[in-house]
Structures are given as structure tokens and as C-alpha cells.
Amino acid sequence: MKFSILSLRVAAAGLGLTVSAYAGVVDQSATNTPITYAKQVSRLVQANCESCHRPGQIAPFSLTNYRQVKAWSKMIKEVVQNKRMPPWHADKGVGHAFGNDRSMTDEEIETLVSWIDGGMPLGDEADLPEKIQYSSDWRIGEPDMVFEMPEEYVVEPIGVVPYQYFTTETNFTEDKWITMSECRPGNAKVVHHIIIFVRDPKDSGASLATSEGGQGFFDAYAPGSEAMMLKPGSARKIPAGASLVWQMHYSPTGKREADRSQFAIKFADGPIDTQVTTTEAINTGFEIPARANNHRVEAELTFSKGATIFSLSPHMHYRGKAFEYSLVYPDGREDKLLQISNYDFGWQTTYELAEPVHVPTGTTMKCVAHFDNSEANPYNPQPGKSVRWGDQTWEEMMIGFFHLSWDKDAQQAKAQPEAEGTL
Ligand code: HEC
């Protein structure tokens, strides 16, 4: 459920790529110059794979040099041709464009595959791009503050672990504006998800969500999700005196495991004109019949005031099959934002609209999910049973999160951000 309005730009800057160097990849292949690792493939892999395929990141092996890319070439050819890598699940040609679209163009795929088929020449080492220097193993770069769970939690080898909640005080004496944040599991083997809620002391009595979604949502980690990186001028607020509530979902591994996860933030270092928050269209009342292979569930939310929508994070569990978001305007016009025909629970992606969409009061966000509860779904834990809403992964969820700024907040968020933390 992470999102970053301009993560591509941030990532590209971090990778030290220039647009012209990158465009050269395509030009070269078009003019039949032999494709080499040094010239083209190294740059392609840097731009499309290295963010995950390097030490300390989520992919199980690194692709940061010639030897590694060559060693994995057979599998690389297969996964790029069938578009399993880079992972990206939005349907092409439907809905809006997304700024963080990870997919490669057909030309890029062709370049990579021709190089593999052509015997994988290294080429002239002088053509190699600069190695990327990572300033930190946090995706957001060096954080201003890192919070830690107040204690280590031990997950027993077997059994069901209900969501665990922990609270950390921020000790902030004034409102803080956060432009980037990142949750990091202490033990990725057992941490299934982390959701960070912000509890504002002024909202005493407000019920904290005990299920995903709900009030105070700030940031989340789930397999495949990225750090939250907002564009300059946009930030999320952590109010003075707020506490952080950690909702931890652990899945036992068969061994005793301990976890102490972390949550890192970066403060805004310029003026803020856009306050970003999260809301959702949610349906908790469905029941998916046993063996149904295309069960439809809908949820909607009507905007009580105007808003600008930045990004979308669909959420279902193992039976999730397809998901779409559409806007229905007050005049009846419908605009499809996102369609995912091949939802993958393993990738909790946030889809960042390349162009944020402004909606007037009275617009409705309509989300439609389809679930496959049949035995044809290889991830289905219990095809013979009907399933309802529930926290655990073998139960189901139907949430269309979206990240937005409300029109009135755009005017109100004029606070001067702090450069430094106060802890
Ligand atoms: C957003 C992160 C991410 C990016 C970007 C990414 N990968 Fe992966 N890759 C993973 C993860 C995680 C796995 C292991 C789990 C899986 O297979 O889904 C993986 C697995 C693989 C595998 C093993 C295949 C398999 O069946 O598990 C190959 C080969 C691969 N990636 C190649 C690539 C190539 C080539 C690129 C760039 C063109 C790339 N990946 C980009 C995260 C990423």
C-alpha cells in the first residue's frame, strides 16, 4: 500500500540515469549494432531490475554485474517474455497511465532477449555505466527518524496468530509533515504485513481500525510493496503528540521466529501545499460460495467534497482474481482508472496515476472485484468452502484504497515543515 507520486522520477534520479543514456538502448538495437552487456543490457537491468535484485532488497538474488545476469539468463528470458518480471499487473491499454509502471517496452524486452539469444557478449568494458552508489539500504535514503517496535515479538512455529498491536510514542511537540516513509520487517520470513496507524490524541474515542483500512492509516508494508515517496510539496501529517500504532500480521513458518520491525520517516524540507491522506471503498459483507470461479463483489464511496486522487492500492487475499476502479461523475460519465485482470496477492502494488485526477463533490469511486474460489486457483487454501471477510490470509478482503488530498485541505495545509526531528 505504499505509494509514491513521483517514485519513478525519484528512482531514476537515485539510479543516476539520464534519459538520453536510456533512450540510447532502443536506438542501438534499431540500427542493428550488436547488443552488448556493457552498452545496452547493463543499463536495461540497472533501470528495470536492480531496484529489487540487489543485496538487501526483496528479490532472492542480485543482478548487478555481467556474471550474475549471464548466470540467470535462461530464466530471465522466460520471465521477461511472459511479463512476470518486472512485476506489474495493470492491464495495458485500459484505464489511466501510471507513473510507476515497472513494465518494459516491447523494444526493451526484444533487446534483452536478442542479447541472450546472441550469446551474451560482454562488449567493451569501457562502455559500462557507472555502478549505482546506494546511500542507504532504506529505499527512501537515509531517514530522519527510525521507530522500532517497543519489544521483540516471538512467533511460535505453528498456529494462528491474531493481529498484534504495538504502540510507540512519537513525542512530537508540534505537527510534523512527512514526505517519505518506509516500514521494514525485522524478520521478513514471518512478517506478512505491517500497517502503521497514526493515533491523534485530539481524536480520543475514535475507533482504531481492527481490520485493514479505517481511520488513521499512514503507511503499510506487504510483500511487493514499495516505500512511500511523495512529490515535493506533498506530505502526510503526523500531529503533535500522536502515537504510532503498529498492526502486525505474522505467519508462522514451522520454526520459532522473532521479529522487531522498524518504521522510518523523512520530514519535508520545503513548504507543503498538499496534504495526502488515504481512504477506501470497502465491502465487508460478502460471501463467496464454495467453488465459485468468478464471484463479483462491489464497493463504492461517494465523495462528500472535491478531491484530487493520486494513487490506488487494491487489496484482496488468495482468491483475488481481478480488480478495477472507476469514477462515476455526477453527470453520469464513467471513467475507468485501473483494471487488473490478473491480480496477484504476492504483489501489493500501489498504482500511481501519472496525472492526478480531480473529482467534484458527488462523484463516486466504484470498485469491482472478482474472486476465484475454485480448485483451479492454485493459491486457494480451501476450495470446498465458502469464504467471508476476515483478517487472516485464508479469509478474504475487498478494499480499494486510494490516496488523495481533499480540496479544503489543500488550502489549509500551509504549515512550515520542520527540517529536523525532535527525538
Ligand atoms: C519490484 C521488484 C522486482 C523487480 C523490479 C524485478 N524483480 Fe525479479 N524478482 C523479484 C522477486 C521478489 C522475485 C522472487 C519472487 C517471485 O518470483 O515473484 C523475483 C524473481 C525473479 C526471477 C526468478 C524467477 C522465478 O520464477 O522466481 C527472475 C529470473 C527475475 N526475477 C528476473 C528479473 C529481471 C530480469 C528483472 C528486470 C527486467 C526483474 N526481475 C525485476 C522482484 C523484482
Least confident of 174-178, 204-208, 279-283: 204-208
Region 88-95: mean pLDDT is 95
Ligand 1: residue whose CA is nearest its atom 19: 59
The grid cell for 308 is: 484530487
Mean pLDDT of the chain: 86
Q: List CB contacts of 46: < 8 A, sequence separation 6 or more.
A: 15, 17, 129, 132
Rounded distance between C-alpha atoms, residue 263 and residue 146, angstroms:
6
Rounded distance between C-alpha atoms, residue 406 and residue 413, angstroms:
11
Cell 515543515 belongs to 417
pLDDT tens digits, 25-44: 444 444 567 899 999 999 99
Q: List CB contacts of 331: < 8 A, sequence separation 6 or more.
A: none
pLDDT of res. 200: 85
Selected residue with higher pLDDT from 373 and 7: 373
pLDDT of res. 31: 54
Rounded distance between C-alpha atoms, residue 153 and residue 192, angstroms:
14
Instruction: Please tell me if the CB atom of residue 51 comes closer than 6 angstroms to any atom of ligand 1.
Output: yes
pLDDT of res. 5: 34
Instruction: Please tell me if the CB atom of residue 194 comes closer than 6 angstroms to any atom of ligand 1.
Output: no
Rounded distance between C-alpha atoms, residue 213 and residue 181, angstroms:
18
pLDDT of res. 213: 40
Of 298, 285, 295, 323, give the one whose Cα is nearest residue 383.
295
Instruction: Please tell me if the CB atom of residue 48 comes closer than 6 angstroms to any atom of ligand 1.
Output: yes
pLDDT tens digits, 306-352: 999 999 999 999 999 999 999 999 999 999 999 999 999 888 899 99
Ligand 1: residue whose CA is nearest its atom 31: 85
pLDDT at residue 374 above 50? yes
Rounded distance between C-alpha atoms, residue 303 and residue 35, angstroms:
52
Ligand 1: residue whose CA is nearest its atom 8: 85
Residue type, 81: Q
Contacts 24+ apart (CB under 8 A), 336-340: 336/94, 336/95, 337/95, 337/96, 337/309, 337/312, 338/90, 338/95, 338/96, 338/98, 338/312, 338/314, 339/90, 339/91, 339/94, 339/95, 340/89, 340/90, 340/91, 340/314
Q: Which residue out of 58, 79, 352 has the highest number of ligand 1 atoms within 8 Å of its CB and is therefore the one to mutate?
A: 79
% of the chain exceeding 70 in pLDDT: 86
Q: List CB contacts of 27: < 8 A, sequence separation 6 or more.
A: none
Instruction: Please tell me if the CB atom of residue 248 comes closer than 6 angstroms to any atom of ligand 1.
Output: no
Instruction: Please tell me if the CB atom of residue 102 comes closer than 6 angstroms to any atom of ligand 1.
Output: yes
pLDDT of res. 333: 97
Instruction: Please tell me if the CB atom of residue 7 comes closer than 6 angstroms to any atom of ligand 1.
Output: no
Instruction: Please tell me if the CB atom of residue 87 comes closer than 6 angstroms to any atom of ligand 1.
Output: yes
pLDDT of res. 32: 62
Cell 485530539 belongs to 202
For 420: left if phi > 0, alpha if psi spans -120 to 50, otherwise beta; the answer is beta
Instruction: Please tell me if the CB atom of residue 41 comes closer than 6 angstroms to any atom of ligand 1.
Output: no
**If pLDDT is split at 50, 70 and 90, which confidence band does 208 have?**
very low
**If pLDDT is split at 50, 70 and 90, which confidence band does 250 have?**
very high
pLDDT tens digits, 60-80: 899 999 999 999 999 999 999
% of the chain exceeding 90 in pLDDT: 70
pLDDT at residue 21 above 60? no
Q: Which atom of ligand 1 is nearest to the CA of 223?
A: 12
Contacts 24+ apart (CB under 8 A), 338-344: 338/90, 338/95, 338/96, 338/98, 338/312, 338/314, 339/90, 339/91, 339/94, 339/95, 340/89, 340/90, 340/91, 340/314, 341/91, 342/89, 343/89, 343/314, 343/316, 344/87, 344/89
pLDDT at residue 266 above 70? yes
Of 207, 206, 177, 352, give the one whose Cα is nearest residue 276.
177
Region 146-162: mean pLDDT is 93
Instruction: Please tell me if the CB atom of residue 399 comes closer than 6 angstroms to any atom of ligand 1.
Output: no
pLDDT tens digits, 94-104: 999 999 999 99
Region 406-415: mean pLDDT is 57
